[in-house]
Structure 1
Amino acid sequence: MSEPRPTGALSNVSLARRAWNIRRKALQMGEVQGQGYVGQALGIADVLAASYFHAMEYRPDDPEWEGRDRFLLSIGHYAIALYAVLMEAGIIPEEELETYGMDDSRMPMSGMASYTPGMEITGGSLGHGLGIAVGMAMGLKRKDNPAFVYNLMSDGELGEGSTWEAAMAAGHHRLGNLVCLVDFNDQQADDKSTTVMSAEPVTDKFEAFGWHAQRVDGNDLDAVVAAFDAARSAPEGKPRVIVFDTRMCKGVPFLEEREITHFVRVEADEWGKALAILEEGKPQ
């Protein structure tokens, strides 16, 4: 059985390679099905790389190890992004990439905990992830388990009342083992999230509930790593939140420049083009 991976083991150069690999795997899975939420996967890849290869402790060969840090995917439709990092981390064999979204695959198009190693919760209706994370964090705290709970959620979920009930509970119960990661790409199904229901100023609201709050460029790896470090060293008893401003389709300029909506359509002849462009920008 492997030992837990030491926190902070990789340099930012190595993390950039991990993020690049996550983007490549997401595009490859998207090509398998001819669709998928690849815009979100490309945008959140830097945050996922820092989560799994800088901040978190886990055992790839024992995904249910009791001492692991928990990573909750509140946004179930981002599953393609989480599968990519789970493969990169060695929790899911990379050979399964070609099965994405297929019948009997362990990687359905929306995340389901019953199917996928390393998938802690089943994604469904948005706005529930932070509440589940609060419950997990409370349970770990009561068992004196030092593990952290990381909850990745979307900016659209900031419009859900359940999110703010959970935020209030986390502050009240002084859950210093909880880290909420907010992907702020300003997109949701109906329009920009700031147009549908603006939650600004986001960090001020979390701070009002007793959280340690930060906001950084989610596609700047140096800033992302520094934010994770600051979150882990935040005052004891404060839940932590990092709001990451990300760009959909980051790393593939012709998709970045497209008029972006919640679901980015990639034509059949564009998958190879996107992978080739990504290859040109591979970190050395």
Structure 2
Amino acid sequence: MTKRGNVSLSVLEDRAKFIRKETVRLSRIAGAGHYSSTFSCAELLAALYYDQMSIEPSQPGWPDRDRFVMSKGHAAIGLYPVLADLGFFDPSELDTYTRLGSPYGDHPDMKKVKGLDFSSGSLGHGLSVGLGLALAARMSMRDYMTYVLLGDGELSEGQIWEAANAAGHFKLQNLVAIVDRNGLSIDGHTEDVMSVEPLEDRFAAFGWDTQRIDGHDFGAIRAAFDRLGRGGQGKPQVIVADTVKGRGVERMEMSLDWHVGNLVGEDYDAVMSELDAGLRPFVAEDIK
């Protein structure tokens, strides 16, 4: 079982680099990939899966596991390597990514991939699903937490705010929304396309506890997780994580050109070298 708060910051930093590197590798297999959207949430994924959530890779259906909903499902390319790395399935299976018959598609399918609690396609549904999972925990008298990773672009969907309202009404303290606030969507800057600020005030108006942090700072991420209440009745909780779209690869940072892209030839090699700097192999003992 993954134990909360038991991993060094250096290991978490290494795993974030691993997520980025695997995203680049898998994108080459597919012929295209969501680089920048995945890079902005690499630290958040690493912190959740290696340090925060209670999960058991040998028992994907463990009833008391914490749940994770990747509402911004186009970043699944960064989640699959984490699941394989932790032992949910053999890492070699990732070599089939997006190939005909592969369970590993551009968006996640919980019926095909071990370790997933949500199938994504069209964005905007994840918080509603997380709401249902949190209510299910209460009804079944289990104390697992449900974490939902939201993209800031999908916050213009009305369903997000219906779920936010319902979560506040039902006082679901076991529901944690994490907003990957990278400021860009496929159509441009979020504040130009459809303003989402002031995010803390908007969630607070629906009865949520709010925090705002640097989403690339593992110390800040861990401190935010440490402040979360667990279980019981209370306010649902949101962490607004300010991030940089494309973080880790200079040419991609805050660029609208890399929401979807394909690195080939010397460009691929240069980006992999950039990400390779300081990368070390992960061993299971790091999280024990």
- TM class by shorter chain equals over 0.9
Deviation at 1:234, TM superposition (A): 9.8
SS in 2 for 1:71: strand
Map of 1:134 onto structure 2:
131
Gaps of 5+ in 2: 282-288
Query: Are 2:37 and 1:37 equivalent residues in the alignment?
Result: no
Structure 2 residue identity aligned to 1:263? H
In structure 2, the CA distance between the partners of 1:261 and 1:203, relative to structure 1 (3 Å rule), is farther
| Deviation at residue 283 of structure 1 after TM alignment | 6.6
Distance 2:115 2:166 in 1: 26
Contact residue 231 and residue 241 of structure 1 kept, 8 A: no
TM-score (norm. length: structure 1): 0.93
2:277 is the counterpart of 1:280: yes
Displacement after TM superposition at 1:110 (Å): 1.5
Which residue of 1, 16, 19 corresponds with 2:16? 19
Matched residue, 1:5:
2
Counterpart of 2:213 in 1: which secondary structure? strand
Task: In structure 2, give the amino acid aligned to 1:207.
Answer: A
Q: Structure 1: which 4+ aligned runs deviate by more than 4 Å? A: 233-236
What is the aligned partner in structure 1 of residue 264 from structure 2?
268
Q: Distance in 2 between matches of 1:81 and 1:135?
A: 25
Residue of structure 2 aligned with 1:217, choices 206, 214, 229: 214
Matched residue SS, 2:180 = strand
Task: Tell me by how many angstroms 1:236 deviates.
Answer: 5.2
Contact 1:216–1:245, Cα closer than 8 Å, also in 2: yes
Q: Provide the residue aligned with 1:189 in structure 2.
A: 186
Return the alpha-carbon distance in structure 2 between the equivalents of residues 179 and 142 of structure 1.
Answer: 18
Shift of 1:233: 6.1
Residue of structure 2 in register with 1:164 after alignment: 161
Flag structure 1 segments of 5+ consecutive residues without an equivalent: none
For the 8 Å contact 2:145–2:231, the answer to whether it is kept is no
Instruction: State the alpha-carbon separation in 2 of the partners of residues 34 and 112 from structure 1.
Output: 20
- CA, structure 1 residues 213+272, in 2 after alignment: closer, same or farther (shift >3 Å)? same
Mapping of residues 116-265 of structure 1, within 5 Å: 116-232=113-229, 237-256=234-253, 259-261=255-257, 263-265=259-261
- Residues 233/11 of structure 1: CA separation in 2 closer, same or farther (3 Å cut): farther
Which whole-Å CA distance do the structure 2 matches of 1:65 and 1:110 have between them? 23
What secondary structure, in the 3-state scheme, does the structure 2 residue paired with 1:57 have?
coil
Q: Deviations over 1:228-267 (max 9, x none)?
A: 111246995111111111112211223327x334624233
TM-score normalized by the length of structure 2: 0.92
Match of 2:51 in 1: 54
In structure 1, how many angstroms separate the alpha carbons of the residues matched to 2:17 and 2:186? 27
Cα distance in 2 between the residues matched to 1:140 and 1:124: 25
What are the Cα deviations for residues 95-128 of structure 1, in whole angstroms up to 9, with x where unaligned? 1121111111121112111211112111122111
CA displacement, residues 215-235 of structure 1 (integer Å, 9 cap, x when unaligned): 111111111111111124699
1:89 maps to: 86
Query: Which protein has greater RCO, CA pairs closer than 8 Å, 6+ apart?
Result: 2
Q: Distance in 2 between matches of 1:109 and 1:29?
A: 10
Answering whether residue 78 of structure 2 is matched by residue 68 of structure 1, we say: no
Q: Residue 231 of structure 1: SS of its match in structure 2?
A: coil
* Partner-residue secondary structure (3-state), 2:40: helix
Q: Secondary structure at the match of 2:80?
A: helix
What's the secondary structure of 2:238's corresponding residue?
strand
- For the Cα contact (< 8 Å) 2:70–2:149, is it kept in 1? yes
What is the alpha-carbon root mean square deviation over aligned residues?
1.9
Structure 2 CA distance for aligned equivalents of residues 137 and 261 of structure 1: 37
**Residue range with higher mean Cα deviation, 91-100 or 146-155:** 91-100
